[in-house]
Structure formats: structure tokens, C-alpha cells
């Protein structure tokens, strides 16, 4: 077979494959890895270790403002970090004030506390005594600013309409009375919290962010505006490993790894095809998958 007489041949096919092959391959690889995980080792990043070290500074009875600035779709990515962090909070016995930054947040507590039932039962961690959910209180920046300045003027009841008077939230006059903010974010009210709470009152803030927002938060981390950063599903998996509590994060790391490697393979295939095709055809055409 005289390959040199081909117009593009195999190289052209490699350079211009249909993107649906990428979708199919990713889907099959990720699905199989999720159904039959191998349990491959993972590396633990310095960033996750620093996040855990920040949480370890909390003492029993400390007040933490847990802000769930995520839609339900974002929760799917942040789930390992959310669960692992709240396990730490429960074990340490910190008091949590949970607020949502999106109306879909109302669907989150039943889902999250169902997964944490073993911990809440073992440590007798109950709603109203150890944690209070104040609901969707961050629709915009003005609400964040108002709540930060005068907590009880803006929040009188919890998400089920029960008064918060006589609870541990009586100690909170403004946002500066919290010992830490634990933020789980897809980018909703995080900047507002930094502007109106961190910069105004100096409250340390630990952020668990989706992957695409991590580069933006790295600048905040470096500037000291946030004290710790947990990056996406992988960070959550690393935290699960550090606290010796395997969960959805570690289960999905095989899929994570294979997904990344398959993308790398597709890029390599495309580049080999591009190089071979352009050399063979002698033209510097723009190639791309269809």
C-alpha cells in the first residue's frame, strides 16, 4: 500500500475526528470507572493540607458561618468537600450557621444531612442546638452587606420559620462575631462576603470552590483575603483521605484520572494527525475536529 499517494489518509482522520467520539469515549470511561472503581492512589496537594490545617484551628463551640453559595448542580461538584468539611465541623463540635446563596439551596440540607446522619447521630449534632439553617439570605450584595452589619435586624427566623432567639446565634451581633466563614461556592456571593465580611471584620474565610473558579480564588488566597482553598472534587477527595473518611470524592477519583488521561490522549492523537497531515499535504491548513 503506497501511503505517500494518500491525500491525508490516517493522519487526516486523526486530525479531524468527529467530536462525538470524544463524548462517547469520555462517557464510557467515566461511567465504567464510577461503576467499577479500581482504587488508584492519589497525591495530596499542599493546598488541601493547608485547608485542613485551617479547619484544625477551630475549637469546640466556635461559631462558623457556613455559606452554601451553590446551586444543586454546583453541589454535585463540591459534594466531597462539603461532606468532608462538615464531618470535621461535627467532630470538633463547632456551631454552624448555614446560609444559602441560591434558591436551590433549600434542596441541599436534606441531601447533605442524610449523608452525614452517622456523624450527627454519633456526635448528637442536632438542628437548633448545634446548627441552624437560616435559609436563602444572599440574593444580592445589599443583602450580604446588611446581614454583615446587623445580623439580627436581617435574620429573625430560620428556614422553617422558627425564631432564632434563645439560640447560640444570640451571640452574633454582626459578621465579625463569627470565628470563621466556610464558603462553598460556584461564584455567587463569595466576592460580596470578602468585601463586606473579610475586609470589614477580618474574619478568616476558607473556600471550597468549583474547578473553573480556582484560578480567580488563588489570587485571593495569595493576597490573604481567603485563608484556605479547597479545589473542586479533587480537593474534596484529598480531604476525605486526610480525615480517613472515604466518600464520593475518593470513589470518583479513578473516573477523574481516566477522564483527564483520555483527554490527553485525544490531544496527542489530534496533534500527531495535524503534524502528519500538514507535512504530507505540504499545506499549513487549519485542522480541527468536526
Partner 1 sequence: MTNALFTLPGFAEGRLVGLLLLILIFVLAINFMGQAKLPYIRRVPALDAIEDAVGRSTEMGKPVVCSYGCGGFDYWTVAGLSILGYVAKVCAETDTRLIVPTGGSSDSYIVREAAVDLVRNAYTAAGRPEAFNEDDMPFLSGEQYAYTPGYVGILVRERPGTMVMTGSHWSEAMNIAEMANAVGSITITAGCYTSNMAALACASDYIMLGEEQPAAGAYLSRDPAQMASIRVQDIYKFIAIGTILVGLIAVNFGSDIINRLLAT
Partner 2 sequence: MSSFFKSRSAQITVLIVSFLLVFVPYFIPWGPLDWLSGKLMTIAAVTNAFTIVIAVYSQFRRSGRFINERRKGWVYHIYLLALLAIMTLSGFIFGQHAGAYEWLLLAVVTPLSSVIYGILAFYMSSAGARAFRARSPQSALLLIAGFVVLMYQAPLTGAFFPGIEGAATYLTDTFGMSVSRMFSISVSIGAIVLGVRMLTGKEVAFLGFGESDE
- Residue among 100 and 180 whose Cβ is closer to partner 2: 100
Residue of 34, 50, 63, 107 that binds partner 2 (CB under 8 A)? 107
For residue 216, state whether it binds partner 1 (rule: CB under 8 A): yes
57 binds partner 1 (CB under 8 A): no
Cell of 161: 420559620
The window from 53-61, 115-123, 208-216, 234-242 that contacts partner 1 (CB under 8 A) reads 208-216
Among 59, 73, 126, 173, binds partner 1 (CB under 8 A): 73
Q: How far is the CB of 26 from partner 2 (least distance, A)?
A: 6
Q: Which residues pair with 181 in a beta bridge?
A: 65, 205
Name 38's Cβ contacts closer than 8 Å, sequence gap at least 6. 254
Q: Is 271 near partner 2 (CB under 8 A)?
A: yes
Figure out which of the listed residues 213, 232, 233, 287 binds partner 1, where binding follows CB under 8 A.
Answer: 213
Please tell me whether residue 61 binds partner 1 under the rule CB under 8 A: no
The entry of partner 1, partner 2, none near residue 3 (CB within 5 to 8 angstroms by kind) is: none
**Using the rule CB under 8 A, is 260 a contact of partner 1?**
no
Where does this chain bind partner 1 (CB under 8 A)?
19, 71, 73, 139, 186-187, 199, 202, 212-213, 215-216
Where does this chain bind partner 2 (CB under 8 A)?
19, 22-23, 26-27, 40-46, 71-74, 76-77, 104, 106-107, 139-140, 142-143, 145-147, 149-150, 153-154, 159-160, 215-216, 218-219, 222, 234, 237-238, 253, 256-257, 259-261, 263-264, 266-267, 270-271, 274-275, 284, 286-289
Amino acid at each position: 500500500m503506497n501511503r505517500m499517494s494518500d491525500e491525508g489518509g490516517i493522519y487526516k482522520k486523526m486530525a479531524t475526528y468527529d467530536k462525538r467520539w470524544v463524548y462517547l469515549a469520555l462517557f464510557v470511561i467515566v461511567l465504567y470507572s464510577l461503576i467499577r472503581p479500581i482504587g488508584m492512589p492519589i497525591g495530596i496537594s499542599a493546598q488541601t493540607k493547608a485547608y485542613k490545617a485551617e479547619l484544625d484551628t477551630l475549637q469546640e463551640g466556635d461559631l462558623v458561618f457556613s455559606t452554601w453559595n451553590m446551586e444543586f448542580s454546583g453541589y454535585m461538584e463540591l459534594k466531597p468537600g462539603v461532606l468532608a468539611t462538615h464531618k470535621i465541623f461535627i467532630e470538633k463540635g463547632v456551631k454552624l450557621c448555614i446560609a444559602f446563596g441560591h434558591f436551590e439551596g433549600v434542596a441541599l440540607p436534606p441531601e447533605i444531612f442524610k449523608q452525614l446522619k452517622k456523624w450527627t447521630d454519633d456526635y448528637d449534632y442536632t438542628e437548633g442546638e448545634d446548627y441552624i439553617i437560616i435559609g436563602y439570605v444572599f440574593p444580592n450584595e445589599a443583602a450580604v452587606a446588611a446581614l454583615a452589619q446587623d445580623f439580627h435586624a436581617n435574620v429573625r427566623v430560620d428556614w422553617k420559620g422558627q425564631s432564632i432567639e434563645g439560640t447560640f446565634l444570640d451571640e452574633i451581633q454582626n459578621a465579625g462575631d463569627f470565628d470563621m466563614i466556610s464558603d462553598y461556592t460556584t461564584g455567587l456571593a463569595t466576592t460580596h462576603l470578602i468585601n463586606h465580611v473579610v475586609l470589614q471584620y477580618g474574619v478568616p474565610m476558607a473556600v471550597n470552590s468549583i474547578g473553573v473558579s480556582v484560578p480567580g480564588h488563588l489570587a485571593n488566597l495569595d493576597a490573604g483575603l481567603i485563608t484556605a482553598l479547597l479545589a473542586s472534587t479533587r480537593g474534596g477527595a484529598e480531604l476525605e483521605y486526610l480525615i480517613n473518611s472515604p466518600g464520593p470524592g475518593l470513589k470518583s477519583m479513578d473516573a477523574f484520572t481516566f477522564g483527564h488521561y483520555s483527554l490527553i490522549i485525544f490531544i496527542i492523537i489530534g496533534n500527531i494527525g495535524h503534524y502528519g497531515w500538514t507535512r504530507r499535504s505540504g499545506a499549513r491548513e487549519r485542522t480541527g475536529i468536526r
